[in-house]
Structure 1
């Protein structure tokens, strides 16, 4: 699957990401991003096992939280850095659209993964992605990403069953050109 930059994705809950470009660096590729988030919206608690993520507030106010810690806030001109392996979330904590610029490093499969997650959310019209797509993505890319808020029982039992049923039903043909996951 070839992605042309800039590459824009939007979901049905008010999040828009523009992947501006990928910069090739000796210690791994860096993808430059810009996001726009409506008030109260933002991704749930999640982990990038292999990527650092940096967001600088251009306009608005970002709320963010590291798993197990208190909520914090950053205003225009301030930068938030989430180190790889750190469960985190962020949201628009203001009254206007939040606009941030930043990067993720190493780029790995993040552009494909988030594009597919947003598409799965748009299928349902809610923040919850379509079940078979979510099961496929969470299973295939488990070495790169985790969704902390999903209960362990769902991750260990429901998602694997849903994934296998999806295989039997041929639900994953659309992912035939999906990039290989990066192994830790």
Structure 2
């Protein structure tokens, strides 16, 4: 299975969103049914990604230091401590955050890797650009449109997904906002 990495494609590759989350893509572990991307993170207290879905990938986190809170959409939060692991299956909306008072460190993997390095790198860059948890609107529209079959944000209202995001994407194209994405990997068709 082809793996799409950002340019440069060297691993390890570390990204930060400027809001308390740092993620390092350590290495690819080739496997017959798709490369496993080995990762580690550092998350500040109270921070973590919003509710999201990976349509084509499984994800696992093992707590190395701190206290991990996690939630499956529609379920109450659960917690994991040092040495405990959590697996998020593809297609299951989930989120996690640091529920402790110190930096949360986890090791983990995402499988298959597909476009995740590019996608998360671009999302983190868009958050740095906006200076908030909400990514730059044009960058977010591009990523949500291009990779809609791979990733989703289930808490975004349907009207916004069907009307606002596509309109923002078209305006962004007219304004020439997407030249920086010229080398973006092709979406994985499921």
Q: What's the TM-score bracket when you normalise by the shorter of the two chains?
A: over 0.9
Tell me whether 1:161 sits opposite 2:185 in the alignment: no
Q: Deviations over 1:13-46 (max 9, x none)?
A: 1000000011111000110000000000000000
Displacement of 1:108: 0.2
Give RMSD over aligned pairs. Answer: 0.6
**2:122 pairs with 1:116:** yes
Q: Which residue of 1 aligns with 2:4?
A: none
Question: Normalization by structure 2: what TM-score?
Answer: 0.96
Question: For 1:149 and 1:100, how far apart are their aligned partners in 2?
Answer: 25
Matched position secondary structure for 2:47: coil
Q: Equivalent residue for 1:150?
A: 156
Unaligned runs of 5+ in 1: none
Instruction: Write the mapping of 1:1-184 to structure 2, written as runs, cut at 5 A.
Output: 1-184=7-190
- Matched positions, count: 184
Task: Give the Cα–Cα distance (whole angstroms) in 2 for the partners of residues 124 and 109 of structure 1.
Answer: 23
Tell me the CA shift for residue 182 of structure 1: 0.3
The whole-number CA distance in structure 2 between the counterparts of 1:110 and 1:134 is 15
Report SS of the residue matched to 2:134. coil
SS in 2 for 1:91: strand
Deviation at 1:2?
Answer: 3.7
Stretches of 4+ aligned residues off by more than 6 angstroms? none
- After superposition, give the CA deviation of every residue in 1:75-123 in whole Å (9 maximum; x if it has no partner): 0000000000000000000000000000000000000000000000000
CA distance in 2, matches of 1:153, 1:43: 22
Give distance in 1, aligned partners of 2:183 and 2:159. Answer: 30
TM-score by length of 1: 0.99
1:177 counterpart SS class: coil
